[in-house]
Structure 1
């Protein structure tokens, strides 16, 4: 629960209030930028660059602090830009935007309660709602509630009032803010990504869609005891309130989870990898937000039970067409074989790769071979560093430092400029697996990911 000192008394839901706040912040940041340029006129190139980065960092941090005060969709836009903007925005900007993920300011219950009553009507009398949120986010906050008739503990995900209707306006404000403060790259690719973020935002506030998706995933996993999906309580769901069963668990990085035996951590890691593989290759739809806040770990209390992963959020689900699924499968299979030729062949027929010069593709394939190292085996891949994979093909993610190695290889690659603007579907999948790899690294798990694939 957030510190009671950090409570937002009310939301600026009107477009005039929000527009004024952003315009004021943009003007002040833009003035700072212009002043910096004027005072750097006679400086050396090195000094100008140092000062440019310093001012860029300062104004990005300032704008992010102002954005955070508004809550709602403009914060979520910033979070998404932090996640995917590394290909379009300066490092100083994405670093500042990343701090939005740590903002836990709750909205005062007096501002939330009337909205909840308006949404539920007389059904609110069935519930005893805790006014202190157990979770806060940019678009909503979560409150525990008890069903008075049975004592059942529920959770209410309450969308902040005015969020859904403000998305398009906030998107335009965010883009205008970047432009006025010289933070916006003038590229067609950025505009395409911006529109993709707009679509994602509209999906995230569609609670009817999220409820349906949650039910669908619950059905997918109903026979697998390793996963917990909250039950949807339809009676108390509306367009802006999602009611679910309360599911307990520990954060992924909690000391209790990290102190489990190697075997138990391996089992939890295998489950986290397997669901990512099933989402992509079995169900054809994937939770694309790798935020650890979307997962909990419920520890077994007896020897007969298993440790479980609690899946909390289904608002960022994305479907993939057969062409993308086939491409992903072929790339991973080439990685399993650790074959440069097959990796190059796997790229054929997909427009993004077809437009890349033939002499560049082997260089790009080498990056993919490294990224798919966990899918290979000691018998197939003599390039695996010593001690990273054992003779049961269990891969040690923490020891591997795979993400850093892939980034270093990609940055040095002749194909680096083609990585700068990847297709959005490709980025969603890569982000998902980066999240899964990070999960494995945090809990120091060792697992054979190929168990989930028919290789």
Structure 2
């Protein structure tokens, strides 16, 4: 089957300009804050004569409405405001009320495109006369909160490339957007203004500053390109430095189909298993070999280059295309040592070893023995897909195929983990987990979703033994 190239987004609404100036964004947020204040006042007055139970139920509904209103208004702005909301939805579940988290999860990059004249002006400012060396398709093939992607041809060579063009002004708006976002949450009364929230905003600021620096992303992409060059299962785009800068990234165009495409779903189980194994193995290498991880589990960061049937018969394989290296997070050796010990305990399904592995980190060391035991049990469940069927009798029979490979789609692991996590948190005065563990946790959740969607089965021995 031939690869399907990315389709141009010519069915999307196009906008002529972005609200990137501080004044415009402040005005937009101010209007939203004013409306929220009026809503709170109206809700308080109208609920004065209700009994406690009715008032609680009413406030719950109102909180949902407030959260959805905030998300809808934020979605009208491109730039870091949307990205901040997305990051808080991904990593802030222990900081934010569930109503806010659910609402922020509706924010996505599938937004209106910036009209070509504005993009062309940006390219002209960035590239100058070099723009004449390129033939750029004015219809984008991808949009995001911070950038827009266009295909192009290098006229001298015919090379097909993509240009990741950062929206004008978004990098300069990060600090003011963060302040606006915090103010909006404060006015809404849905989030307590705690030190934990401040810490997360500081973390998000660092991540965003890194993500809008395309020179950093180019260097990271080149590192991963070199690391995976000899592994035929992966494709990493090659950076073209001639047309790249701090706000513009040029790389080879790599065709493929999306993770949710019908073309992918129609492949045989063995081919899907191979793709799934590759997807989880790259995550293991990121955490346990290189110590740096792509923290955004968005499906849009992956494509699958499907080999046609004739090529498959000649030994060609399907390849995972890794597209985005902006949201990279490094981990120190102390954390990686603990993570390896946790993985080893999970592979052997050893509760005692899991408890022993949870030492040397303030978050774990501050727990009582009872709490540590509960959390160790939670980790044993979380590592079920990476455990040896020979030593883990708790794996449901429906989760293993005839070759003892783990069937992700049958596991319902996410819901089982959520129930166990809620119970574990109720057993003690819960402290916010270290950010690093939350990043890794989200990466695993992203991998779980990926493998469930493509209905893949994986071999835990191949995954874990290299790191034991």
Deviation of 1:102 after TM superposition, in Å, equals 5.2
Render the CA deviation track for 1:123-143: whole Å, top value 9, x for unaligned.
000011111110000000100
Render the CA deviation track for 1:5-33: whole Å, top value 9, x for unaligned.
51222111210111111011111012111
Indicate conservation of the 8 Å contact 1:295/1:311, yes or no.
yes
Q: Quote the Cα distance in structure 1 between the aligned partners of 2:255 and 2:426.
A: 46
Indicate conservation of the 8 Å contact 2:124/2:131, yes or no.
yes
The aligned counterpart of 1:335 is 346
The aligned counterpart of 1:85 is 92
Render the CA deviation track for 1:416-455: whole Å, top value 9, x for unaligned.
5566611100001111111111111011101113313334
Deviation of 1:363 after TM superposition, in Å, equals 1.0
Deviation of 1:115 after TM superposition, in Å, equals 1.2
TM-score by length of 1: 0.97
| Alignment of 1:380 onto 2:387 | no
The aligned counterpart of 2:448 is 437
Q: Secondary structure at the match of 2:92?
A: helix
| Alignment of 1:128 onto 2:135 | yes
Indicate conservation of the 8 Å contact 1:214/1:229, yes or no.
yes
| Alignment of 1:15 onto 2:26 | no
Residue 118 of structure 1, aligned match among 117, 125, 138: 125
Render the CA deviation track for 1:128-178: whole Å, top value 9, x for unaligned.
111111000000010011111222211000000011111001000100111
Deviation of 1:57 after TM superposition, in Å, equals 2.1
Which has the higher mean CA deviation after the structures are superposed, 180-189 or 432-441? 180-189
Residue 447 of structure 1, aligned match among 427, 434, 458: 458
The aligned counterpart of 1:358 is 369
Which has the higher mean CA deviation after the structures are superposed, 175-184 or 272-281? 175-184
Provide closer, same or farther for how the CA distance between residues 5 and 157 of structure 1 changes in structure 2, counting only shifts above 3 A. closer
Q: Quote the Cα distance in structure 2 between the aligned partners of 1:261 and 1:420.
A: 45
Q: Quote the Cα distance in structure 2 between the aligned partners of 1:225 and 1:21.
A: 49
The aligned counterpart of 1:72 is 79
Q: Quote the Cα distance in structure 1 between the aligned partners of 2:224 and 2:357.
A: 30
Q: How many residues align?
A: 455
The aligned counterpart of 1:97 is 104
Provide closer, same or farther for how the CA distance between residues 237 and 346 of structure 1 changes in structure 2, counting only shifts above 3 A. same
Residue 406 of structure 2, aligned match among 386, 395, 408: 395
Indicate conservation of the 8 Å contact 1:266/1:447, yes or no.
yes
Provide closer, same or farther for how the CA distance between residues 420 and 121 of structure 1 changes in structure 2, counting only shifts above 3 A. same
Indicate conservation of the 8 Å contact 2:221/2:325, yes or no.
yes
Q: Quote the Cα distance in structure 2 between the aligned partners of 1:104 and 1:25.
A: 20
Q: Quote the Cα distance in structure 1 between the aligned partners of 2:427 and 2:383.
A: 18
Q: What are the within-5 Å matches in structure 2 for residues 189-200 of structure 1? A: 189-200=196-207
The aligned counterpart of 1:238 is 245
Deviation of 1:390 after TM superposition, in Å, equals 3.6
Deviation of 1:49 after TM superposition, in Å, equals 2.2
The aligned counterpart of 1:369 is 380
Q: Quote the Cα distance in structure 2 between the aligned partners of 1:434 and 1:98.
A: 15
The aligned counterpart of 2:194 is 187
The aligned counterpart of 1:307 is 318
| Alignment of 1:137 onto 2:137 | no
Q: What are the within-5 Å matches in structure 2 for residues 393-432 of structure 1? A: 393-413=404-424, 421-432=432-443
Which has the higher mean CA deviation after the structures are superposed, 173-182 or 443-452? 443-452
Q: Secondary structure at the match of 2:173?
A: helix
Deviation of 1:405 after TM superposition, in Å, equals 0.7
| Alignment of 1:289 onto 2:296 | yes
Q: Quote the Cα distance in structure 1 between the aligned partners of 2:260 and 2:251.
A: 24
Indicate conservation of the 8 Å contact 1:2/1:104, yes or no.
no
Q: Quote the Cα distance in structure 2 between the aligned partners of 1:102 and 1:75.
A: 8
Indicate conservation of the 8 Å contact 2:294/2:328, yes or no.
yes
> Which segments of 5 or more consecutive residues in structure 2 lack a partner in the other structure?
1-7
Render the CA deviation track for 1:227-283: whole Å, top value 9, x for unaligned.
000010000001110001101000011111112111000000000010000011111
The aligned counterpart of 1:45 is 52
Q: Secondary structure at the match of 2:370?
A: coil
Indicate conservation of the 8 Å contact 1:81/1:97, yes or no.
yes
Which has the higher mean CA deviation after the structures are superposed, 93-102 or 165-174? 93-102
Q: Secondary structure at the match of 1:171?
A: helix
| Alignment of 1:202 onto 2:213 | no
> Which segments of 5 or more consecutive residues in structure 1 lack a partner in the other structure?
none
Indicate conservation of the 8 Å contact 2:348/2:391, yes or no.
yes
The aligned counterpart of 2:259 is 252
The aligned counterpart of 1:322 is 333
Residue 220 of structure 1, aligned match among 186, 202, 227: 227
Indicate conservation of the 8 Å contact 2:256/2:306, yes or no.
yes
